Structure 1
Amino acid sequence: MTKMIFISLPIKDLAVSKAFYEALGFEYNPQYSDDKGACMIWSESIYVMILTHEKWHSFTDRPIPPEGSSEVALNISCDSREEVDAMNVAAAGHGGTCDINPTQDLGFMYGRDLADPDGHIWGPFWMDEKGMPEQA
């Protein structure tokens, strides 16, 4: 079996979050979705489960981090600088926040962080491994 990762995120509004992730290029998977959660596919091995607070609490009693806090940053690779930029534009246009941190441009690597409507941090980045310095 191929190893996969399912990232589960608590969200306030399922419709808003689903539209946000679709705008960023994630694909909706109805097979793992219902009226309290949706499965959004980034790649054949990376899935994001966006779960209403009610559904989230059916898996754990641990509290949802308060608004404005950061628990993790999820970095995802893109095929180009333009794709990184497009994800930030899409984030800003669909209830998220673009450029929550300074843009990182090292020449061989380029990234711009964004937040989804619930404040979860995503770091889309592009990297040219051939242009990477030996000790990067």
Structure 2
Amino acid sequence: MHKQIYVNLAVNSVEKSKAFFSQLGFTFDSRFTNEQAACMVIGENIYAMLLAKDFFRTFTSKTLCNPKESTEALICLSCDSRAQVDDLADKALASGGASARPAKDHGFMYERSIEDIDGHIWELVYMDPNAAMPAADAS
């Protein structure tokens, strides 16, 4: 059986978050989407649950952080090319997101960091498998 991963994120507005991520090209599974939650399909077996804050609070007794002020997690999304990294980051910026830090080119890896409209940080990364150093050579 293939495992699935669901990243749960508290959002200010499910509808605004759906609109933001739709502009980046993501789709939603209607079976798990309503006014309190949206199941964003990231890839096969990978999903982000965008949960209204009041609904999110029913899953935890801890205080929610404000992701515009505190970092709760860095969500890294692999991309198929440098062009896809730039395309997603540019779409995010045009849709109301913000740059979290400048782009970085490590030769074998290219990355850009964006904040979605709620302040969650998404690391968009392309790694060239042909340029990566083998683990044994990393010393």
Fold similarity call, TM over 0.5:
yes
Partner of 2:120: 120
AA aligned opposite 2:71? S
How far is 1:133 from its partner? Answer: 2.1
Partner of 2:44: 44
String of CA shifts for 1:74-129, please: whole Å, max 9, x gaps: 1011011111011111111222112x112110121100000111110000111111
TM-score under structure 1 length normalisation:
0.93
TM-score under structure 2 length normalisation:
0.91
Q: In structure 2, what is the Cα distance between the partners aligned to 1:108 and 1:22? A: 30
Partner of 1:91: 92
How far is 1:2 from its partner? Answer: 1.0
Partner of 2:104: 104
* Seq. identity, %: 36
Preserved contact between residue 11 and residue 53 of structure 2 (Cα < 8 Å): yes
Q: Tell me the SS of whatever aligns to 2:29.
A: strand
Q: In structure 2, what is the Cα distance between the partners aligned to 1:16 and 1:86? A: 20
Aligned length: 135
Partner of 1:16: 16
Partner of 1:75: 76
Structure 1: gaps (5+ residues): none
Q: In structure 2, what is the Cα distance between the partners aligned to 1:29 and 1:93? A: 24
How far is 1:22 from its partner? Answer: 1.7
Preserved contact between residue 16 and residue 95 of structure 1 (Cα < 8 Å): no
CA RMSD of aligned residues (A): 1.3
Q: Confirm or deny that 1:54 pairs with 2:54.
A: yes
Preserved contact between residue 75 and residue 122 of structure 1 (Cα < 8 Å): yes
Q: In structure 2, what is the Cα distance between the partners aligned to 1:107 and 1:18? A: 34
String of CA shifts for 1:8-31, please: whole Å, max 9, x gaps: 000001111111112223211111
Query: Runs (4+) of structure 1 moved beyond 3 Å?
Result: none
AA aligned opposite 1:106? H
